[in-house]
Amino acid sequence: MSYNFDLFIIGAGPGGIAAAKQAASYGKRVAIAEQEVIGGTCVNRGCIPKKLIVYAADVALQDKIAPNYGWSECQRQFDWSKFIAKVYQHVKSIQKSYLETLHKKDVELIRGRVKFVDPHTVEIGDCALLSTGGDRKITADKILIAVGGHPNKPDIPGIEHAVTSREMFQIQQLPKRIAIVGGGYIGVEFASMMNAFGVEVTLMDTDELILDGFDKDIRSSVQDGLIQRGIRFLGKTTAKEIKQSAQGLQITLSGDTEQTITTDTILVATGRVPNTKDLGLENAGVELGKKGAIQVDDYNRTTQDNIFAVGDCISRVPLTPVARTEGEAVAKTAFGQPQKVDYEYVTSAVFARPEAATVGMTEDKAREKYGDAVRCYKTEFEPLLYSIVDRNEPTMMKLVVDSNTDQVLGAHMVGEHAADIIQSLAVAVRKGITKEDFDATIGIHPTTGEEFLTLD
């Protein structure tokens, strides 16, 4: 049977684009469909605009410490609308370079919403095919689902008054006050950015500590850091009801803090849900697993043999580099050597101030596996940058080690440049570096990173 394409990809986010490039490198006929804009969540309403906002917020923080470094005080004004226009100018340039890459590699980009007709056929709604145009059915030997996810909105009265991270990137001006429901990656990063811009921030989570899943020392260290900067954190608390009033939005809380607070913006950041609705998965024999995620095996194959799924829609590790790695692995499995993704040493960071980053096992996970053989090495210190600043800004570093083998199982850090430092350590940790190797390495002085080499 002949098909229109060897591989048809649904979703042009990091997962889909990585798969398209890899499959095209085998000389395969590849098409990728996108219902919105090329680049997906990461480029358009995630990592990239977020990190640029972090940089803008850092300028405000630098201003605060500047007098300690001999700079006279000055009154700089921040213009959100001017800044965000620059951000989207950059986002457009990334979209353009993606389009050029796909074009160069002969990957056909199809604009429109895709739905399965059967395991080898999809239907494109609102199709504006770059070459021909018009609605059409397309057949493919193999199909990759890389449709990502969307924010989960808790089912509470008045939730329509709340925004999600998606709308936060579209706000016209900064609010004076913001209440953030959910202290995960998104809640914590936005809390930090908004606080730096001078917004009054209340952050809440159903747990007593923010950043579920991270090492407990990271969780408490970042939480203390946020509180110290003036963010009001309410643990074991959630939103029960939201109402519009003349004074602003009223959010009624339940849990450890039972009160009603008035705010201008409410951001809900309580996790994300896979985009599997109305995809016609039932027509293709693709089944869902836990929490609506697409069920896949170790090779990212769905319950239908010729159909694969990667990225946020499978809810394994919803991060851009993971989606990319999975996308490439699928193309290799489908057209080259079968390849599994190794999730053991996925590095990740929370771009808050203080910044947090991690690779490998948390202390709790290590203890589950290695019991009393786990030894932790930890330090907390004031970095040189803050030594002449009238503010306490501790850095925390921690190594989790299996004392039987001396192997470093995990490295965790909170503080300046944590993401870049942990990123570099990740290679060594993945390769099974020992604590002795850390100790035997001569550091660069004076840096924050060198402290990882002298832990005892």
Ligand X SMILES: Cc1cc2nc3c(=O)[nH]c(=O)nc-3n(C[C@H](O)[C@H](O)[C@H](O)COP(=O)(O)OP(=O)(O)OC[C@H]3O[C@@H](n4cnc5c(N)ncnc54)[C@H](O)[C@@H]3O)c2cc1C
Ligand Y SMILES: NC(=O)c1ccc[n+]([C@@H]2O[C@H](COP(=O)([O-])OP(=O)(O)OC[C@H]3O[C@@H](n4cnc5c(N)ncnc54)[C@H](O)[C@@H]3O)[C@@H](O)[C@H]2O)c1
Rounded CA separation 148/40 (Å): 8
List the single partner that 181 binds among ligand X, ligand Y, none, CB under 5 to 8 Å by kind.
Answer: ligand Y
Residue 115 tokens, joined:
């739905």
Q: Which helix (H) or strand (E) holds 20?
A: helix 14-24
Centroid of chain to Cα 422: 16
In this chain, which stretch among 4-12, 87-95, 203-211, 237-245 interacts with ligand X, using CB under 6 A? Answer: 4-12
Closest distance of CB 32 from ligand X, Å: 9
Rounded CA separation 122/5 (Å): 11
For the beta carbon of residue 357, count every other beta carbon within 10 angstroms: 25
Among 36, 58, 200, 212, binds ligand Y (CB under 6 A): 212
Q: Which of 47, 117 has the CB closer to ligand X?
A: 47
Number of C-alpha atoms within 13 angstroms, CB side, residue 446? 5
Closest distance of CB 75 from ligand Y, Å: 32
Closest distance of CB 191 from ligand X, Å: 13
Rounded CA separation 226/178 (Å): 15
Rule CB under 6 A: which of 344-363 touch ligand Y? 348-351
Residue 165 engages ligand X in binding (rule: CB under 6 A): yes
Rounded CA separation 202/179 (Å): 5
The 3-state DSSP class for residue 404 equals coil
CB 91 within 8 A of CB 49: yes
Rounded CA separation 126/155 (Å): 31
List the single partner that 40 binds among ligand Y, ligand X, none, CB under 5 to 8 Å by kind.
Answer: ligand X
Closest distance of CB 241 from ligand Y, Å: 12
Residue 312 engages ligand X in binding (rule: CB under 6 A): yes
In this chain, which stretch among 28-36, 78-86, 178-186, 221-229 interacts with ligand Y, using CB under 6 A? Answer: 178-186
The 3-state DSSP class for residue 310 equals coil
Residue 311 engages ligand X in binding (rule: CB under 6 A): yes
- DSSP secondary structure, 210-264, as one string: SSTTS-HHHHHHHHHHHHHTT-EEETTEEEEEEEEETTEEEEEEEES---EEEES
Q: Is 445 a catalytic residue?
A: yes
List the single partner that 13 binds among ligand X, ligand Y, none, CB under 5 to 8 Å by kind.
Answer: ligand X
In this chain, which stretch among 78-86, 99-107, 177-185, 387-395 interacts with ligand Y, using CB under 6 A? Answer: 177-185
432 phi, psi to nearest 5 deg? 85, 30
List the single partner that 401 binds among ligand Y, ligand X, none, CB under 5 to 8 Å by kind.
Answer: none
Closest distance of CB 325 from ligand Y, Å: 14
Q: Which of 127, 251 has the CB closer to ligand Y?
A: 251
β-bridge partners, 129: 110
Among 204, 281, 294, 409, binds ligand Y (CB under 6 A): 204
Residue 205 engages ligand Y in binding (rule: CB under 6 A): yes
| Active-site annotation, residues | 445
Q: Can you give the binding site for ligand X, defined by CB under 6 A? A: 10-16, 33-36, 40-42, 46-47, 50, 113-114, 146-148, 165, 186, 275, 279, 311-312, 318-321, 323
Contacts with ligand Y, residue ranges (CB under 6 A): 154, 181-187, 189, 204-207, 212, 238, 269-272, 318-319, 348-351
